[in-house]
Amino acid sequence: MIEIHSIAVEKYSFLGIYMKLPQYPIYFLVSMHVILAPLCFSKEYFDRLDKKVALILVKSSLGFKNLLDSEVVSYNGFAQKIGVNTAMKGKEALLLCEKSTHKKI
């Protein structure tokens, strides 16, 4: 089962996607240029894509609020260029990337 929600974070809107898999539910937030997801996503895959998509991976994965409150553990090269680092929480990194991509559109 897949559920899609509209998640507002400050003045920005994201798609919140919940995938109810048999053994491991997955939550992640996406916009046109940013993905905030749990560590089960492959950072290497997004680096190989050569697309301008910031991938931010966080420690916690159960619930949209937990994604935002959790510590950033890893990120791809595009997110690094924007300024994402492991001292950030998911929400801070997500907003930094979203604000950065809005300036360039």
CATH number, domain of 77, equals 3.30.1980.10
**Phi, then psi, of 81 in degrees rounded to 5:** -60, -30
**Phi, then psi, of 84 in degrees rounded to 5:** -65, 140
pLDDT of residue 103: 63
Task: Give the model confidence (pLDDT) of 34-89 as tens digits.
Answer: 999 998 877 777 777 777 899 999 997 689 999 999 999 999 989 999 999 999 99
pLDDT of residue 101: 79
Q: Which of 94, 87, 86 is nearest to 37 (CA)?
A: 94
pLDDT score of 105 more than 50 = no
Instruction: Count up the domains in the chain and report the number.
Output: 1
Q: Average of pLDDT values for 12-34?
A: 93
Domain containing 75 equals 2-104
Element (H, E) at 34: strand 34-38
Q: pTM, whole model, 2 decimals?
A: 0.89
Measure the CA–CA gap between 72 and 93, rounded to whole angstroms.
8
| Angle, CA 84 vertex, CA 47 and CA 65 arms, to 5° | 100
